[in-house]
Amino acid sequence: MEKTLENEICLVTGGARGLGKAIAFRLMNHGAQVVINDIDKDESDNVVELIKQKGGEASSFLADVSNLTEVQRMIGSIENTVGPIDILVNNAAVFAEAIPFVEIADEEWERLMSVNLKGVFNCMKVVGGRMLARKKGSIINISSFTGKTGRVVYSKIGEPTKAHYCASKAGIISLTKSLAYELAPHGIRVNCVAPGAVRNDITSPEKMAMINPLVPLGRMGTPDEVAAAVAFLASPEAAFTTGEIFDINGGILMD
């Protein structure tokens, strides 16, 4: 695999498992020095060890991205021990159950917004400030096709849509465009990847059987397919791309 990100320091939030883990390995394969952020120390350390076993460079830093003070402390530690961040991938997120909109508790709304949206804002604010000073950098935010559609793949008219989750992901899309416009004159690109239905190690056959017929390409996506889009947007090959919402959804949404 071509080393398009050699000598680049890449921070992946929520990088200890699932999509974040796949992104970390993909960036490593392209030559990046990967920094894993998560709230799970054991899983973070495990990813770091696996990357090192494959000959890559990696380290892990714990922080709750919804807490600005923790993010500031983490970024300072990364800069002091690893170096300035060249690429930020905002992947950390929490998920939600499909419940009627009128039954969404304030606490549940705040839980989704604090991690999924405020967490992205916090990391962009702190890391983006450093990138401004250096006049370079790339930020990739992970949203979801639900941020465009306002519903999950299998929603039926009149049924719950995970409105709070969709709203948090829509906020990421808008934030991406706003910051891309503001930071472009300073040499900083800001893009977004919006995956559709992506399977993982615990996706049940029943869930795949329900979703696959709804996808034009006939299947759920894989974490590595999403990670490939992230690696492209982070690379010099996307040097003229900013403010883009990159759909990876098998044709569920074509816009």
Which residues are known to be catalytic? 165
Query: Which H helix or E strand runs over 73?
Result: helix 68-81
Q: Tell me which DSSP letter residue 57 carries.
A: E
Single-letter code of the amino acid located at 252: I
Single-letter code of the amino acid located at 43: E
Q: At 115, is the secondary structure helix, strand, or coil?
A: helix
Single-letter code of the amino acid located at 181: Y
237: Cα within 13 Å, side-chain hemisphere: 12
Sort 49 into a burial class: Cβ within 10 Å, 0-12 / 13-18 / 19+.
Answer: exposed
Asked if 63 contacts 71 with a C-beta cutoff of 8 angstroms, the reply is: yes
